[in-house]
Structure 1
Amino acid sequence: MRSLLLAAAVLSSGQLMAQDETGTEVPALEERLANERNTYENPFVMTPHKPNYILLGNYNDNLPEDIYAQYGDLQDTEVKFQLSLKIPAWVSKSKKLGLLFAYSQVSHWQAYNKKESSPFRETNYEPEVFLSWRPDYDLGAGWNLQLAQFGFVHQSNGRGGDLSRSWNRIKASVAFEKGNFGLGISPWYRIHEDRENDDNHDITDFLGHGKVQAAYKLGNHTFSLMSRNNLESGFSKGAVEGSWSFPITERVKGYVQFFTGYGSNLIEYNHYNTTAGVGIALTDWL
């Protein structure tokens, strides 16, 4: 959390904001939310939810061989990609309040492992439904409350037996902005299951009860940092993920991602590793 606050102080000091057609500067988060609202009435458009990217090479320093014994020899460099979209089911006339459905999928693909027929070693599926409200409330000192959400999230890896992992959550989130710096805080409550039917009863010990996401846009470059379960676990079972996207073409960005900690995916929720990858992104946080 201290690192996020330091980033906020440093990054918010120098801002290069986009401009609208009148030449007025528009903060990055406000610009994204406005662009999203403009798509809500078009039935042929699905809006990005989380970043959409593919890491063409993603190095993992500590694959848990016991979990993946059925796959034989796995390579420590693979492909990782995320698909994340949302659509509105209902939107108010002001477009400030809406009910949305979202779907995200993260896959880890042994694409270069010809010895083992290039298996998908893990895929996580995450449908959610949530109310979204855009208050656009001035908090003073240059800060704005831009977004508040509340809803239900399911996440699973679609497997059975000993490899099954899943959990359900009630999640809230708020997003603040100051210039081109955005800060999101997302607490959640896990909906508990019967112990005998629970594949991962201790998952909140490792994934915690929320996360903090910071993002900053500098020109056409976007930097983000996620912190999860670090303070809550006393820095013993948390995770940090950082990313940087930069322009390649008008629609395609270069993308670099770094992760260290627990829970890089569901089947490894209680396993510590560090990953680093490079690839391309179609959309980012800002």
Structure 2
Amino acid sequence: MQFSRLFYVIFLVTLSFSSNAQGLFKKKDSIVTKTLSQSWELEKKDKNGTFKLNSYKPFYVMPVHWSNRINKQPQSVGGEPVFDEPLELHSTEVKFQISFKTKVLQSFLFGKGDIWVGYTQVAHWQVYNQKLSRPFRELNYEPELIAVYPLNFSFFGVKAKMIGLGFNHQSNGRPDPISRSWNRLMAHFAIERNDFQLYLKPWIRLDGGTADDDNPEIEDYLGRAEANVIYRKNGHSLDLVVRNSLKFNDNHGSVQFNYMYPIKNNLRGHLQLFSGYGENLIDYNHYQTTVGLGISFVEW
């Protein structure tokens, strides 16, 4: 069974155990699980003002991150290989991600809307590769601007909590021929039920189809939409991210599964599984399966 099929099975199982989850995880009194309203300050009682740093995406360090098919000869669709010879890369490296957001404008639309600035950085570091002088294989920078408006209605026991629109830039900050970057206009929609949260993010690429495109057809590999299912309970977190190109013919995408479990205080163990295209920008059209193990930090 391919890893991608395995992750879809995990996705279905995760959704099915919500009624039994109360006794699944041992309680950690020191860890508080945030609701959608608390994470995005959607209700008046959760408002905390502007320019205060908040957690965004998972913040983690993985000393062990293994790929079954590490990209030793990156190239864009329709382009020539970047290097004359394949790089002597190790299949095991270090991966880490930092991510935070801050509100820059509060209560701007009918007294309810907010504007956030977010920043995420992901690093793939060949720290065990002494022969190549331990380089950073890939660094991805992702600033974004997001306008959020709270929702307050329910359907079939599910609460719609927010809708939004954002501008997202992602780049690896490198010169040609290994430069990778793109800009997206992203819609945001989030719902919640008990300890489950679901984010839906479709997007439109703003800078594709030009003669100097760094990564042609990136939306056909990295995707045109993302669904993020999150289950949090007593410090444990199951996080499933599915991206898809939304093409009926020649469909591509990826699945990433994260499990974070309490160790001590705000420190958690972190297991990550990925299968598909676009784990990072240099690999946007490269298929691989990866496994990562490390630590992450509780949302603040």
Name 1:200's counterpart in structure 2: 215
Post-superposition offset of 1:283: 3.6
Unpaired runs of 5+ residues, structure 2, are 1-6, 24-32, 75-81
Name 2:146's counterpart in structure 1: 130
Structure 2 SS opposite 1:14: helix
- Structure 1 residues 31 and 65: alpha-carbon distance in aligned structure 2, compared to 1, 3 A threshold: same
Among residues 8, 12, 28, which one is paired with 2:18 in the alignment? 12
**1:159-190 CA deviation, whole Å, 9 max, x = no partner?**
11110111100001111111101111100000
**Percent of residue pairs bearing the same amino acid type:** 35
Match for 2:166: what amino acid? G
- Structure 1 residues 10 and 231: alpha-carbon distance in aligned structure 2, compared to 1, 3 A threshold: farther
Among residues 47, 50, 54, which one is paired with 2:54 in the alignment? 47
Name 1:64's counterpart in structure 2: 71
Residue pairs, 1:112-131, within 5 angstroms: 112-131=128-147
- Structure 1 residues 71 and 48: alpha-carbon distance in aligned structure 2, compared to 1, 3 A threshold: farther
Post-superposition offset of 1:255: 0.5
Residue pairs, 1:30-109, within 5 angstroms: 30-33=37-40, 40-41=48-49, 43=51, 45-67=52-74, 69=83, 72-92=87-107, 96-109=112-125
Q: How many residues get paired?
A: 276
Name 1:258's counterpart in structure 2: 273
**1:227-277 CA deviation, whole Å, 9 max, x = no partner?**
111664568421100000001111111111000000010011000001001
- Higher mean displacement: 237-246 or 4-13: 4-13
Post-superposition offset of 1:151: 1.1
Report if the CA contact (8 A) 1:28-1:179 is conserved: no
CA RMSD for the aligned pairs? 3.0
Match for 2:20: what amino acid? G
Q: Tell me the distance in 2 between the aligned counterparts of 1:5 and 1:234.
A: 24
- Structure 1 residues 247 and 219: alpha-carbon distance in aligned structure 2, compared to 1, 3 A threshold: same
Q: Tell me the distance in 2 between the aligned counterparts of 1:90 and 1:273.
A: 40
